Structure 1
Amino acid sequence: MALIDKVPGELKLYIGGMFTLRRREALEQANITHVLSVLRLPLDKALFAPFKHMVVEVDDTDDENLLEHFPATNAFIQEGLDGGGGVLVHCAMGKSRSATCVIAYMMHRYGSSAAEALTLLRQARSICEPNEGFMKQLELYEKMAMPLNVEQVPAYQRWRYQQEIELSRACGQAPEAEKIRFEDEYHTDGNAAFELRCRKCRRPLATSQYIVAHAVSDTTENSSCRRPPQACAHYFLDPLSWMRPELEQGKLEGRLECPKCHTNVGKYAWQGMQCSCNEWVVPAISIAKGRVDEVRKLTDTASSAIRLPPGASVRPPSGLSRQNL
């Protein structure tokens, strides 16, 4: 008799593909009471008649959002285990989608990393291999500390925004206005190291926590085809609320003006642009370093001190000694 693959450990948790559902004797022996189907194919309802059944309709593609379903699939698996029965998680082949949901449950239950859970799962089913997109979602789930409500976590919200931007870019279009996430309307952390001010009118345009970091490209590969790197000439930023009138016009690219003096301070390109350091940034919302000043914020101690010219010292008022100061 063909057996079904059981996740290592004390849990009555099993994984498989569509053909696993045909192994009725093995399912009965495992006391399967709950079946989680993670696929979009038409399903024969007769196969699931004896079980409590949950379906998550997703394709096995990198851009599918399986992360949003983790709290619900975790709860379903837990319900089956708490009831004393066995739980089968399956997709078409028992390789990617089902593995992703089982790994998410193991992470949530044991606090393990995505890599650790995958290694353990492969002891039961060696072909398990979440696609690249699902693996990144599991890694994000790990960084988010496996919350009960992923949609309320800023990291998830930002990831969803990036997914929308990537979809728009792939279609050669600007994102829809209502899908643009203006970061300063979500996060107003006052602990920024510095702010960027318009060089002409001194209007604050951004603070350091809204700067998008990017790595300088290595020029050793195909160096004959690439120009030597230079210092970055731009700050790349998250969308900010003062940019709203321009970014919501639906244009693929354009320029950014200071909202106070209307000086051209930068540009944007939803399809991305290449920085002077050779790195491509997508999407690219940039402020030219030559159009702004970087103003460092003083610490409380420094801001309360007397600022003096270089070499100058504090002289006590007439009639007072330094000891009396």
Structure 2
Amino acid sequence: MAMNRIPGHNIYVGGILSLKNKAALERENFTHVLSVLRLGSDEIFSSYQHHKIDVDDVDYENLLEHFPDAIKFIQSGLDGGGGVLVHCAMGKSRSATICIAYLLHQKRNEASFTPQAALELVREGRPLCEPNDGFMQQLELYHEMGCPDDVSEHPIYQRWLYRREVEESVACGRAPEMESVRFEDDQPSIQQAQPTPEREVELKCRKCRRGIASSKYIISHEEEKRENAKARSNVECAHIFLHPMKWMRSSLYPSASDSNPNAQFTGDAPLSGRLACPNPTCGANIGKFAWQGMQCSCNSWVVPAIGLAKARVDIKPLASGNLPPAALGIRLPPGMRPTEPTQPGSGRGNL
């Protein structure tokens, strides 16, 4: 089983041994070969258009960044009327991942066509295909992003890279470098990255009433709760977890310069600590952070964890712009109140 065709497409998935089957390569009119592994010499590909992706078959390898170029290469081969061979060492994980990414991109307007559905289609031709867990997660992210032609600037991709860097730093026993932290209120495209919540809220320090964050900066860990068999769904979470924000710098990096918050931080930042209210005249303890993660009261883990204690903040619904001022508790001066229609017997027309 050197190589197999994906049903409905002139794309073949195979291992390194498929390149030795010269008769099959000529019979299927292969014009493009995509190698998803680390290779030495490229001489064997002199008869084909060749594209190489140097990656290993390990969970932490970033294959997602190569999806757009790989998809363009595959499409160019198909548009030219030839066959395309996508191979890795065994034709099981890396090559299958690239083919799934291509199928997702082709059907990106079909929400029901998920990475799992694409994998099943690939398996119809090659049953042994099994991307590793890390690659499947990257395919899920790609699908969540809408399978864009460029992933590098997408907020979801950037946030994923940021979390990877945090994990690498924590594994070395240190906090991430400040310049690598993704402060969400510094990102111009955050509105595109966050779904619109059903109820917009604002979080305020309970002591000084200073605004701290709104709904778009809140991290929901409902999915983790569903996946965690030990999670207690009937227990209310004691913390509200947030993405990093600029006002947190003084807590996350206490030795950083207040006069120049954008300056490079060179000191040793703590792995965990307390969050202080950003109001300099207040400074109340409103929560805590732990780059290595924190277990919520519902038993779910959030990594990295920056949590506001619900007992230290007030949660206020943000009023809708369509509501009249009176509904918001605002009493306007007489000259600014809206004119109400006069009804017989109401007595208001005589004032």
TM-score, reference length from structure 1: 0.85
Which residue pairs with 2:216 in the alignment? 209
1:321 and 2:342 correspond: no
Residue correspondence of structure 1 range 1-325 to structure 2 within 5 A: 4-9=3-8, 11-40=9-38, 42-111=39-108, 112-186=113-187, 187=190, 193-215=200-222, 230-248=235-253, 250-260=269-279, 261-302=282-323, 304-305=325-326, 307=329, 321-322=347-348
Match of 1:89, as an amino acid? V
Alignment RMSD (CA, Å):
2.9
Determine if contact 1:4/1:26 at 8 Å carries over to the other structure. no
- In structure 2, C-alpha distance between the alignment counterparts of 1:48 and 1:59, rounded to whole Å: 20
Cα gap change, 1:149 to 1:273, in 2 (>3 Å): same
The Cα shift of 1:253 comes to 0.9
Match of 2:270, as an amino acid? K
The runs of 5 or more residues in structure 2 that have no matched partner are: 255-268, 331-339, 341-345
The Cα shift of 1:230 comes to 4.5
Cα gap change, 1:221 to 1:80, in 2 (>3 Å): closer
The runs of 5 or more residues in structure 1 that have no matched partner are: 309-315
- In structure 2, C-alpha distance between the alignment counterparts of 1:117 and 1:230, rounded to whole Å: 37
- In structure 2, C-alpha distance between the alignment counterparts of 1:55 and 1:303, rounded to whole Å: 61
Identify the range of structure 1 (14-23 vs 142-151) with the bigger mean alpha-carbon deviation: 142-151
Match of 1:277, as an amino acid? C
The Cα shift of 1:166 comes to 2.3
1:96-123 per-position Cα deviation (integer Å, ceiling 9, x unaligned)? 0000101111121234432222111112
The Cα shift of 1:167 comes to 2.3
SS at match of 2:104: helix
Match of 1:86, as an amino acid? G
Cα gap change, 1:23 to 1:301, in 2 (>3 Å): closer
SS at match of 1:152: coil
The Cα shift of 1:238 comes to 0.8
- In structure 1, C-alpha distance between the alignment counterparts of 2:241 and 2:229, rounded to whole Å: 25
- In structure 2, C-alpha distance between the alignment counterparts of 1:173 and 1:275, rounded to whole Å: 22
Cα gap change, 1:236 to 1:127, in 2 (>3 Å): same
- In structure 2, C-alpha distance between the alignment counterparts of 1:26 and 1:294, rounded to whole Å: 66
- In structure 1, C-alpha distance between the alignment counterparts of 2:221 and 2:252, rounded to whole Å: 22
- In structure 2, C-alpha distance between the alignment counterparts of 1:221 and 1:121, rounded to whole Å: 31
Cα gap change, 1:229 to 1:117, in 2 (>3 Å): closer
1:208-263 per-position Cα deviation (integer Å, ceiling 9, x unaligned)? 22111224869x978xxx99975322211111110123324532111111121212
